[in-house]
Structure 1
Amino acid sequence: MMKLRYFAIYIFVLLFLFPVFLDAQSFNEMRESGFKMEHIVSVIIEDFETNDKGWAVSGSRFKTGSFPLLKPGIEGRPVALKGAAFPEEENRYIFGVRSVFSRKGYNKVWLYPKDEIVIPGRVKKLDIWVWGGNYYYNLEAHVRDYRGILHKLPLGSLHFIGWKNLSV
């Protein structure tokens, strides 16, 4: 009976306490080898509720008439931004951009703020909610780093219908 009790204690230590000790030891090894924790914060740079940053829009060579048009203050938002986590008075309005071109081809629309927007800290991810109208267009973000180098970041295709969160 005594041998069975010691055997049960031995199995308990082997199965439960030894792996915990190994995990703590491997965590200490990771910390000593340069592993460090990061403080990642989500920051809303632009909510597109109003045109307070002086956004402007322009189109490429074959635009027609007064197009492209920028219309801020359109009521509507993604279903994912509704609910208890997002109050009704926030995220109610969107920007609308409409353009018409006289020829098919490599047409472009540029949406840009009056002044450059400074993003604090190191950026790990950039994402934006976009409504796609099933057109064969791609969305890109052009950002300038702290050295003044311009980077073109592809966010994805607009060949879908409805709201989608595009990120890079």
Structure 2
Amino acid sequence: MKRIAGIIVTSIMILFPVMAQNVDEIDPTKLGTDTAQQKLQEVSVDRFENPGFWTVRMPLDNGLVEFRRFEGGPKDKEPIQAEVEAGIQEEDRYVLGVKASFFRRGPVEILVKPSRPIIVEGIVKTLSVWVVGRNFNHTLKVWIEDAFGNEAILTMGKLNFTGWKRLSVPLPTTLKQQDYHYGQKSGIRIKGFIIECDMMETFGRYYVYFDDLRAVTDLFPIEVRDEDDMADNW
């Protein structure tokens, strides 16, 4: 009887995974709200201006993968209002292009990884990135780590579309992004993107482009931190 119950629970977990949503349908103010005080801010985590910061990998038995920087970007991308009001103008001319040349069909994953994990402070509600998917049935996932070292891989969406599209995913409340005993310990670390390739479409060449990785994060825990507090990093 215990074994049957375990199978039922496992089935429920499979049927209801954390799935990506349309970015316009996600309300960050309602994600993981456990306090009446929030200060949500959209921030640009990385604009993919420096190709030397990123690396790409895939199994050599399946093919070769390479990357480079290109000028361009989505025309529909809107600037971050807080940056406009503050007069911040960071360079935003380039995108990251990735090309995979497959040797044969088979299950394969392409890893797009920063040279070091990208830290996002606060309590992160959503992550989003602009992508050109080239209308392949591959799936884009983001690999993250919370403040306690727990890792998670979240599905951002299918790449079966043409042109630029903004993919977004909410972060589950099961991630431990804050330690209430130590105010300096909060947020997540982004460890990379994973392209899970559809086995029937792992032939020829595949091109994908990335631009402007953003997060919506609650900065209230950071703003209330005392400036003269001690750092527990020794």
TM-score (norm 1): 0.69
Q: Hey, what's the Cα distance between the residues in 2 that align with 1:146 and 1:134?
A: 35
Quick one: structure 1 residues 55 and 69, their matched pair in 2 at CA, closer, same or farther if it must change by over 3 Å?
same
Is the contact between residue 77 and residue 93 of structure 1 (CA under 8 Å) also seen in structure 2? yes
Is the contact between residue 155 and residue 166 of structure 1 (CA under 8 Å) also seen in structure 2? yes
Give the drift of 1:51.
2.5
Aligned to 1:112: 113
Aligned to 2:223: none
- The amino acid of 2:150's aligned partner reads I
Choose between structure 1 and 2 for higher RCO, CA contacts under 8 A separated by at least 6 residues. 2
Q: More helix by proportion, 1 or 2?
A: 1
Is the contact between residue 137 and residue 159 of structure 1 (CA under 8 Å) also seen in structure 2? yes
- The root-mean-square deviation of aligned C-alpha atoms, in Å, is 2.4
Q: Does 1:46 align with 2:57?
A: no
Q: Hey, what's the Cα distance between the residues in 1 that align with 2:35 and 2:78?
A: 38
Q: Hey, what's the Cα distance between the residues in 1 that align with 2:136 and 2:71?
A: 22
Is the contact between residue 62 and residue 107 of structure 1 (CA under 8 Å) also seen in structure 2? no
SS at match of 2:76: helix
Aligned to 1:103: 104
Q: Hey, what's the Cα distance between the residues in 2 that align with 1:35 and 1:143?
A: 24
Q: Does 1:136 align with 2:122?
A: no
Quick one: structure 1 residues 51 and 105, their matched pair in 2 at CA, closer, same or farther if it must change by over 3 Å?
same
Counterpart selection for 1:79 from 54, 75, 83: 75
- The amino acid of 1:76's aligned partner reads G
List per-residue Cα deviations over 1:14-61 (Å, max 9, x = no partner): xxxxxxxxxxxxxxxxxxxx8724210111110001235x21110135
- The amino acid of 2:45's aligned partner reads I
Mean alpha-carbon deviation: is it higher for 54-63 or for 148-157?
Answer: 54-63
Q: More strand by proportion, 1 or 2?
A: 2
List per-residue Cα deviations over 1:44-86 (Å, max 9, x = no partner): 110001235x21110135333xx200102x0111011379x88
Is the contact between residue 141 and residue 156 of structure 2 (CA under 8 Å) also seen in structure 1? yes
SS at match of 1:100: strand
TM-score (norm 2): 0.51
- In structure 1, the gaps of 5 or more residues are 1-33
- In structure 2, the gaps of 5 or more residues are 1-33, 170-234
Quick one: structure 1 residues 35 and 58, their matched pair in 2 at CA, closer, same or farther if it must change by over 3 Å?
closer
Q: Does 1:161 align with 2:177?
A: no
Is the contact between residue 68 and residue 96 of structure 2 (CA under 8 Å) also seen in structure 1? yes
Give the drift of 1:89.
8.0
Identical positions, percent: 31
Runs of 4+ in structure 1 over 2 Å off: 60-64, 85-91
SS at match of 1:41: strand
Q: Does 1:68 align with 2:69?
A: no
